[in-house]
Amino acid sequence: MPDYLLNLDRHLFYFINHDLSNSFFDWIMPLLRNPKFWIPLYIFIIIFCLWRYKKTGAIIIMLLAASAGVADFTSGVIIKHNIQRLRPCRDPVVSATDISRVPCGSGYSFPSTHATDHFAMAIFLSFVFFRKWRWVWFWAILWAGSICFAQVYVGVHFPVDVLCGALYGAFVGWLFSLLFKKLQPAF
């Protein structure tokens, strides 16, 4: 990564991790990045799709899971292990001032797999349901974006990690939405 971009990334990280510190964020951000926190939402999506759309709902759920699975595997196993960027809590420059609000985590930082997975699901759901509910994209992007922000705030990812993870996840989600439209053109 060019030095100017690396420095900008570190400055943005410091701004989010330090300058935006407050007791409310200290409480809510670790929750937002915890997958268990979102279990009620996942259950709602599954029940809603199956109840409202029956067989088509089952296809939506399978492709939603597939989009998250593909995004997770490719970002977490393939990309991270080839790039090997250190997390902020392990970065020799940043770790001295990093406020770690959760355990550092194992593995590498780029891209953020949380960002990749959640943007894959958010974009998939946005494209699938946009014709029926135009407002769904706003809530889906807000949901995935809040998880991305939380990753930086708690100190486990740099802003570039979540931005690139979000863009890659959005691409994966879009591809799976195209597959859904091929399988269910009348939806």
DSSP string, 131-144: TT-TTHHHHHHHHH
The CATH class for the domain spanning 3-183 reads mainly alpha
Residue 49 to residue 10: CA distance in whole angstroms: 41
Contact 126, 137 (CB under 8 A): yes
Q: What does the domain layout of the chain look like in residue ranges?
A: 3-183
pLDDT digits (tens, 9 = 90+) for 22-40: 999 999 999 999 989 999 9
Please indicate, yes or no, whether the overall pTM of this predicted structure exceeds 0.75: yes
Percent of the chain with pLDDT over 90: 79
Q: What is the pLDDT of residue 124?
A: 97
pLDDT band at 97 (very low <50, low <70, confident <90, very high): confident
Phi, psi angle pair for 58, to nearest 5°: -65, -40
Chain centre distance of CA 71:
10
Residue 126 to residue 142: CA distance in whole angstroms: 12
